[in-house]
Amino acid sequence: MHDKALRIPHSAAFLNKLLSVDNRPLVRYVAPRRASISLPRSRRSSRVWSRHASTAAFDRDEYGLFIDGKYVSASGAGADARLAVENPATTERLAWVANATAADVDRAVASGKRAFAEGAWSRASTADRANVLNNIAAALRKRIPEFAEKESLQTGRPIREMRAQLTRIPGKSMIGLGFSLLVRVWLWYAHLFDEEWFEYFAALTRTAEGSVPPFSGSYVNYVQRLPLGTITPWNHPLLIAVKKLAPALAAGNSVVVKPSELAPLTVLQLAELCHAAGLPAGVFNCVPGLGAISGHALAEHPGIKKIDFTGGTVTGRRVAAAAGGNLASTTMELGGKAPIVVFDDVDVDEVVNGAAFACFIASGQTCVTGARLIVHESIFKELVDKLVAKVRSIRLGDPMSDSTQMGTIISEPHLVRIHGMVERAKEDGATVRCGGQRAPDLKVRKLPKIAFVFNGQMCLHRLHN
């Protein structure tokens, strides 16, 4: 235990059981004393991160669709049959990836239905399914340093962010901005990363119980598992894919995943890994491609009974409408403009550290970005001045450098959209206190730091960045 407790204002008192501090600038997360969270020493020693430049490389120049346990070509022809996946920090091409068509999605769903009907997974014992899920977890654990670098390469997020997200160790090398309260909360959430999601649901599978509700008359009441459709975003490719995948597999489902065309490579490699770890062919199919084509085809496919989508609100409405035609169940995690409400009894420095983290993690490109502060008027000026100073100190640069605190925007169109939001906010009367334009001394697609003082009627108050 640490020898000093953090004073948390009443407005955040619900967190006081999770957090404590020592003499370091970051607040440590204190894990509960239970087997599912504790980290054996042998596992700690396997998570030693190299500080050298990245040597990670994708193992092939071109990736197909992953259907029925193997890579296959897309059915399209010519230039439309594949997409380039770029490093957003350099625009260097990392690999080509197949561009799935509606016919390809149909192939993937048919593969999942066939695998389910054959029963190698759907009718496997809970112990056998748990063993495979644990095998997947073990294989993931060995490759976390590799996956961290690959996630950074294809998303432009700093390697330090990805290392912190992909490991259970409470990353003391997280970002180095003096972040504290919100950093620890985020890390607590991120600790249940890829391999642990599989381990958790493997354990849950072993203890699953079923029941047959009594009905009078000659009726049979049963539950039928059918293919699950999953559409994942680019900003947390592995994390979000695994959160959706692990429980679906644990229940015996077949799953079709449509990853973002901007960052599909690690999800495809996850499909390979799962198959090599013992998951039967056809249970996990992956169809990268454009959202308007393969994503729409998946959402409206009559063979899909459940859609789990993470992405923008506009796209979410389209997915829900397409799924509604088949009365498919949907779960949505959409964009937001999360507010941070700041009372007048807070430690302002603590709030500044936490707010800077909440706003600028992943260059502000997450669905839970804390990009909107509602501040008590008595501390407004002090907080804004300190926040501007903090934001100006953030180091932009090469995402693969350990010294970089903020990476790139995922694509040129997204950067243009963000700059459009800045210009519209200025027209609405916003005061730009720092940043607001490209940094001229950096590579393409770096996002300068931005802080605003604006009123609640502005468009930026509601738009997800």
* Positions marked active-site: 333, 367
Runs of H (alpha helix) within 211-295: 237-250, 265-276
- Sequence length of the chain is 465
Q: What angle do CA 71, 74, 77 make, to 5 degrees?
A: 145
For residues 398 and 406, give the distance between their C-alpha atoms in angstroms, rounded to a whole number.
9
For residues 157 and 40, give the distance between their C-alpha atoms in angstroms, rounded to a whole number.
29
Helix (H, G, I), strand (E, B) or coil at 73: coil
Question: What dihedral angle (degrees, nearest 10) is formed by the CA atoms of 384, 390, 392, 395?
Answer: -160
For residues 10 and 373, give the distance between their C-alpha atoms in angstroms, rounded to a whole number.
18
On whether the CB atoms of residues 156 and 363 are closer than 8 A, the answer is yes
Please classify residue 369 by burial: count the beta carbons closer than 10 Å to its beta carbon, then call 0-12 exposed, 13-18 middle and 19+ buried: buried
Structure tokens belonging to residue 170: 């409470």
| Residue 117 CA: distances (Å) to CA of 111, 114, 253 | 10, 5, 11
